[in-house]
Amino acid sequence: DSGVTQTPKHLITATGQRVTLRCSPRSGDLSVYWYQQSLDQGLQFLIQYYNGEERAKGNILERFSAQQFPDLHSELNLSSLELGDSALYFCASSPPSAGSNSPLHFGNGTRLTVT
Amino acid sequence: AQTVTQSQPEMSVQEAETVTLSCTYDTSESDYYLFWYKQPPSRQMILVIRQEAYKQQNATENRFSVNFQKAAKSFSLKISDSQLGDAAMYFCAYRRLQGAQKLVFGQGTRLTINP
């Protein structure tokens, strides 16, 4: 168990809808990262938050947004969903020490299916 | 921007034999971290091994070892005495030492273990 909790495990929704994915990082971790993994693809970095502030942005669509709350949990909001948004969405967290060689610890992912 | 390339989409090996997975990366930085993650059919992301770029000694974790060639920007993973449980997607990843510490992933290598 990585200590990173993602909910829900599965989501099935229709095109045009909006969903929210939730992530609770490991205890003590301040950074949260969101990744998208489409079928049989590598993980694409979406966005990183550190202690409530956006730290880095990757290939995140304008229809997607995220935030990190004071209790450090994070939410990824996906709107105007398209079939191509179907993917596994991972959240990961890491400790606060800059330069640490601690790896990212991943949650089990949320499987999103858009029909 | 840093990139990671895994040139072998698929590999297979007989049980109990040794297999090497290739990874190359591109960066202009001198200090960074490299990781291998394993993703079994359960889709969890599991850390296999990590390497600090400033260390010349290759990392080893039980049956897993790396061949880190900094000048060539190569980071291969060797799995000895392959076991059926090693069957998975393997992802090579790069992480900066400072600044935005996201992981940059390669596209993955699917490893099949033949009994």
| pLDDT tens profile B55-90 | 889 999 999 999 999 999 999 999 999 999 999 999
Measured in residues, chain A has a length of: 115
Shortest Cα distance, chain B CAs vs residue A25, angstroms: 15
The answer to whether the Cβ–Cβ distance between A103 and B35 falls below 8 Å is yes
The answer to whether residue A107 scores a pLDDT higher than 90 is yes
Three-state helix/strand/coil letters over B16-47: CCCEEECCEEECCCCCEEEEEEEECCCCCCEE
The answer to whether the Cβ–Cβ distance between B47 and A103 falls below 8 Å is yes
In the numeric block, the tokens 């601690």 are attached to A102
CA distance B23 to A15: 37
Report whether A7 contacts A112 (CB < 8 A): no
- pLDDT, residue B56, reads 86
| pLDDT tens profile A45-55 | 999 999 999 99
- Chain B residues within an 8 Å CB radius of A42: 91, 105-108
Which residue, among B55, B96, B101, would best test binding to A if mutated, counting the most A CBs under 10 Å from its CB? Answer: B101
